[in-house]
Amino acid sequence: MNELESKKVIGLMSGTSCDSIDAALCEVHPDLSCKLIKGINYQYPPHIRAKVFQLFKGEASVKDVCQMNFAIGKCFAQAAGVLISEFGKPDIIASHGQTIYHFPFDEKLDGISLKSTLQIGDSSVIAQETGCLTVSNFREADICAGGQGAPLVCFADEKWFKCNGNIAVQNIGGIANVTVISNDCPAFGFDTGPGNLIIDYCMNKFFNKPYDEDGKTAESGKVDESWLDCLMQDDYYFKNPPKTTGREYFSPQYIENALKSAPSAPEDIIATVTALTAKSAAAAYERFIDRKLNEVIVGGGGAYNPVLMKFLRSYLPKYIELKTHEDYGISNNFKEAMAFALLGYCTYYGIPNNLPSCTGASKRVVLGKIAY
Ligand SMILES: Nc1ncnc2c1ncn2[C@@H]1O[C@H](COP(=O)(O)OP(=O)(O)O)[C@@H](O)[C@H]1O
Ligand SMILES: [Mg+2]
């Protein structure tokens, strides 16, 4: 292995919310610390974004998937290009891509496992358009090692959040996932359930808005406790980790079905599904974390929703401190893109970068593929 050096890395990420391509120019150091130089949120062109939602809905042909793999590669290259025009080329681009399907279950066909995941936005397109070495396809190797290919960000959480006692690093993106860090055992993590995706869906349906800005709509509504109790009975919340989920499970059909027993006021619906995200996370800590947490540190877009944060505070035992990534000097907005910058740095040097305690893999492997 080459001697490790600090590298400039652009991490590129678009999550299940599909709200933007997050591009984070970072300096990654040999001790695996990572300094954010500049981050941008690059918006997908509207028709491309609409097409991604068609892919999510399963309303797409193989031709659509094929074309979108290249089209999204171009969008990711453009997002990186904004940073490159200001700061010059990085040593590495590390692109998560856009997940369009995630199937972490061991179903078999003719005895062959169908466990799989698909992130599109071809890395050769990014490498050719930018002229930069590009790492992509981080999830597959973990699945091949018997894992779920997720959550991957735990690897960065473990490196970046030094802890006294036991802390939970809670990301609230489209889906919500937690990493538990202790001084006396390896980090572990799993998806706690929906993050913003049900809120976003309902905001779109009832208010024709992409999300509940600053939780204003939830604030004007009232939680319907009996509907909330009913939503909390979903099997996913009771399943033991390792577990990950996505839009395949918390799908439009799932949400529409749930809405059949919803209260009539749309504001109450938004308040209740906002409470659901917080309550399912708090319930997951109680059920699956076998140690007393001192702190919960929230990141991702959900950290910007004060009503969601208020609900989380109310569902957590009083002795747990509730913070955000910003309290640790890490951007709520760019943490995931930064995490992929770190994962790409490790791929470049051949450093194993999955955490079997989080993904369920049988061994440490080097995640990622390199395009020149
Ligand atoms: N100011 C805000 N108020 C309320 N919600 C917000 C705010 N900013 C972001 N969000 C929520 O965060 C989501 C994006 O979070 P993000 O961490 O980027 O998720 P993903 O990783 O799935 O892309 C948005 O879709 C929205 O629901
Ligand atoms: Mg996002």
Per-residue model confidence as pLDDT tens digits over 208-239: 999 999 999 999 999 999 999 999 999 999 99
| Mean predicted confidence (pLDDT) in 247-275 | 97
- 17 CB near ligand 1 (under 6 Å): yes
Model pLDDT, residue 204: 97
Q: Report which protein residue has its CA nearest ligand 1's atom 15.
A: 301
Pocket probe mutation, ligand 1, options 13, 16, 18, 19, max atoms within 8 Å of Cβ: 19
- Number of domains making up the chain: 2
In angstroms, rounded to a whole number, what is the distance separating the alpha carbons of residues 104 and 144? 11
- 246 CB near ligand 1 (under 6 Å): no
Spacing, Cα 318 to ligand 2 middle (Å):
30
Nearest atom in ligand 1 to 212's CA? 4
Helix (H, G, I), strand (E, B) or coil at 32: coil
Both 180 and 272 in a single domain? yes
* Torsion, CA 200, CA 204, CA 210, CA 214, rounded to 10: -60
- 267 CB near ligand 1 (under 6 Å): no
Residue 346 lies in a domain: yes
Both 197 and 241 in a single domain? yes
- 19 CB near ligand 1 (under 6 Å): yes
In angstroms, rounded to a whole number, what is the distance separating the alpha carbons of residues 370 and 338? 18
Both 232 and 317 in a single domain? yes
The token pair that represents 63 in the structure block: 């031709």
Pocket probe mutation, ligand 1, options 304, 330, 334, max atoms within 8 Å of Cβ: 304
Model pLDDT, residue 23: 98
Both 135 and 258 in a single domain? no
Both 103 and 165 in a single domain? no
Residue 240 lies in a domain: yes
**In this predicted model, what pLDDT tens digit does every residue of 97-147 receive, in sequence order?**
999 999 999 999 999 999 999 999 999 999 999 999 999 999 999 999 999
Residue 1: pLDDT over 80: no
How does residue 58 score in pLDDT terms, banded at 50, 70 and 90? Answer: confident
How does residue 29 score in pLDDT terms, banded at 50, 70 and 90? Answer: very high
Residue 85 lies in a domain: yes
The token pair that represents 2 in the structure block: 């080459």
The token pair that represents 185 in the structure block: 């055992």
Both 311 and 341 in a single domain? no
Residue 141 lies in a domain: yes
Supply the CATH number for residue 244's domain: 3.30.420.40
Both 259 and 274 in a single domain? yes
Both 36 and 67 in a single domain? yes
Residue 171 lies in a domain: yes
Q: β-strand 321-324 against 116-120: which pairing, if any?
A: unpaired
Nearest atom in ligand 1 to 215's CA? 4
In angstroms, rounded to a whole number, what is the distance separating the alpha carbons of residues 271 and 148? 32
Closest CA to 191 of 248, 244, 149: 244
Residue 1 lies in a domain: no
Handedness of CA 186, 22, 342, 371 (dihedral sign): positive
Both 189 and 299 in a single domain? yes
pTM, two decimal places = 0.94
Is residue 195 within 8 Å of 173, Cβ to Cβ? yes
Provide the b/e sequence for 255-275 (b: ≥16 CB within 10 Å).
beebbeebbeebbbbbbbbbb
Long-range contacts of 208-217 (CB under 8 A, 24+ apart): 210/19, 211/19, 211/301, 212/270, 212/274, 212/305, 212/307, 214/304, 214/305, 214/306, 215/274, 215/305, 215/306, 215/307, 215/308, 215/310, 217/266, 217/267, 217/270, 217/271
Nearest atom in ligand 1 to 14's CA? 23
**Percent of the chain having pLDDT more than 70?**
99
Closest CA to 146 of 369, 345, 370, 362: 362
**In this predicted model, what pLDDT tens digit does every residue of 74-84 receive, in sequence order?**
999 999 999 99
Both 321 and 274 in a single domain? yes
Domain of residue 94 covers 7-150+334-371
Handedness of CA 210, 215, 220, 226 (dihedral sign): positive
Both 322 and 347 in a single domain? no
- 15 CB near ligand 1 (under 6 Å): yes
Helix (H, G, I), strand (E, B) or coil at 109: strand
Model pLDDT, residue 230: 98
The phi and psi torsions of 95 (rounded to 5 degrees) equal -115, 120
Residue 258 lies in a domain: yes
Nearest atom in ligand 1 to 214's CA? 3
Model pLDDT, residue 163: 74
Model pLDDT, residue 223: 98
- 39 CB near ligand 1 (under 6 Å): no
In angstroms, rounded to a whole number, what is the distance separating the alpha carbons of residues 261 and 33? 47
**Position 83: which residue type?**
L
Average pLDDT of the chain to the nearest whole number: 96
In angstroms, rounded to a whole number, what is the distance separating the alpha carbons of residues 31 and 5? 9
How does residue 246 score in pLDDT terms, banded at 50, 70 and 90? Answer: very high
- 191 CB near ligand 1 (under 6 Å): no
Considering every ligand atom shown, identify the ligand nearest to the alpha carbon of residue 214 and give its number.
1
Query: CA distances (Å), 9 to each of 28, 94, 153, 193, 345, in order?
Result: 7, 7, 16, 30, 7
- 242 CB near ligand 1 (under 6 Å): no
Model pLDDT, residue 162: 76
Residue 2 lies in a domain: no
**In this predicted model, what pLDDT tens digit does every residue of 329-371 receive, in sequence order?**
999 999 999 999 999 999 999 999 999 999 999 999 999 999 9
**In this predicted model, what pLDDT tens digit does every residue of 155-198 receive, in sequence order?**
999 999 977 789 999 999 999 999 999 988 889 999 999 999 99
Both 92 and 204 in a single domain? no
- 173 CB near ligand 1 (under 6 Å): yes
Q: Report which protein residue has its CA nearest ligand 1's atom 25.
A: 17
